[in-house]
Structures are given as structure tokens and as C-alpha cells.
């Protein structure tokens, strides 16, 4: 009789807990670094555009205070880049030993690659002078959005060897989060433009 069972046999990956612990811990540290950079990016922009309650104008904070936040953001982005890259390489070695291939363009693998590329772009853009401190803060927040899409969003696709976890209500929550972040970024840019026009 033909089998109508739709449950597929999972490919064994836990032959050794060594790769599980090193790969997952490195990835989580990298994701945490990029996410913390985005959190500090929010603080930077709020301090940069702190509204004066007396006259309603935008007040630029002392540069020394902002420089500290900027250095913190850059350090966390660099930390996140290093550990996400390390975790991805360790995951590739683990995949090679368990599945017989180092890289398979799995959605979760692509998500990790997106984080690596975005953080590398942010650091290179700052070093080359294409963006300044304000731009670094914006890039860090977008980096956190990339992490959320890479970590949670790819599970919504329901494909790939890394597709796991519960997805009920995830789409709505993710869209709300992304929408709020876009609104925050656009508001900061508009306030900055308004302030510069007001000064001139």
C-alpha cells in the first residue's frame, strides 16, 4: 500500500554537542552585539534630537556625550560582525560534517550572511567617510531590523533545514516592529532636516 505519511525523517545533526554549543553561542553573541548596537543607536538619536520642552525646538547635545555613544555603537557592530562570522563558519563546518555540504543557501544561512554583509557595509561606510555618526546610528537600527528578519522572519517561510519554532502571530508582531522602527528612523531624519533648515 502506498504510504500517505507526510512526516519526513529529519537529518541527524546532533552527533556531537560540540558544534551545537560553539555554533549557536557564537551566533547568539553576534546577533546580541548587533541588536545592542541598535539599542544604543536609539539612545544616540534620542539624545541627538532631544526636544527642549520650553520652546519646542530641537536641541543638539554636547558632542563629547554623543561621541561616547558612537564609539559604543561601532564597537558593538564590530563585535557582532566578528561573532556572527565566526558562528556562520562553525555552522558551515557542522553542516559539512552532518549534511555533507558547507553552504546550501538555506534561508537561515542567508539571514546570517545578510547580517554579516550589513555590519561590514556599516563599518566600511563609516571608515570611508560615506556616513557620519548620525548615519552610523541609523545603520545600527537597520542592523537590528535585519537581525529580527533573519532570526524570526525566515521561520515564516517554512522551508529549509533551519525552519523551526512557533510562528503563530509572528508575522503581525514582526511587521509592527519593523513599521515602528521605520517610523522612528524617518522621524529622526525629518527632525534633523527641519532643524538644519530652521538654523539656516
Q: For residue 52, what pLDDT is reported?
A: 35
Residue 130 vs residue 98, higher pLDDT: 130
What's the pLDDT band for 53 if we cut at 50, 70, 90?
Answer: very low
Burial of 52: CB neighbours in 10 Å, binned 0-12, 13-18, 19+ = exposed
What average pLDDT does this structure show over 63-77?
Answer: 88
* Rounded Cα–Cα distance for residues 152 and 171 (Å): 9
Phi, psi torsion values for 2, nearest 5 degrees:
-70, 140
Helix (H) or strand (E) holding 78: helix 63-99
Question: Mean pLDDT, the chain, as a whole number?
Answer: 81
What average pLDDT does this structure show over 94-110?
Answer: 82
Q: What is the pTM of this model?
A: 0.79
Q: Residue 167 pLDDT > 80, yes or no? A: no
Cell of 55: 520652546
Q: For residue 18, what pLDDT is reported?
A: 79
Amino acid at each position: 500500500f502506498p504510504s500517505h505519511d507526510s512526516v519526513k525523517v529529519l537529518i541527524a545533526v546532533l552527533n556531537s554537542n560540540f558544534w551545537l554549543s560553539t555554533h549557536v553561542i557564537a551566533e547568539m553573541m553576534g546577533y546580541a552585539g548587533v541588536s545592542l548596537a541598535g539599542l544604543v543607536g536609539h539612545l544616540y538619536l534620542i539624545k541627538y534630537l532631544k526636544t527642549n520642552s520650553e520652546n519646542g525646538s530641537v536641541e543638539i547635545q554636547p558632542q563629547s556625550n554623543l561621541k561616547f555613544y558612537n564609539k559604543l555603537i561601532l564597537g558593538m557592530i564590530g563585535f557582532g560582525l566578528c561573532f556572527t562570522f565566526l558562528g556562520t563558519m562553525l555552522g558551515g563546518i557542522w553542516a559539512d560534517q552532518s549534511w555533507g555540504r558547507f553552504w546550501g543557501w538555506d534561508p537561515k544561512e542567508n539571514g546570517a550572511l545578510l547580517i554579516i554583509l550589513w555590519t561590514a557595509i556599516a563599518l566600511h561606510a563609516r571608515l570611508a567617510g560615506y556616513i557620519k555618526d548620525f548615519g552610523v546610528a541609523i545603520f545600527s537600527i537597520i542592523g537590528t531590523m535585519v537581525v529580527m528578519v533573519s532570526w524570526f522572519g525566515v521561520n515564516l517561510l517554512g522551508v529549509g533545514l533551519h525552519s523551526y519554532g512557533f510562528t503563530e502571530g509572528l508575522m503581525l508582531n514582526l511587521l509592527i516592529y519593523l513599521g515602528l522602527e521605520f517610523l522612528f528612523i524617518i522621524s529622526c531624519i525629518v527632525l534633523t532636516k527641519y532643524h538644519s533648515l530652521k538654523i539656516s
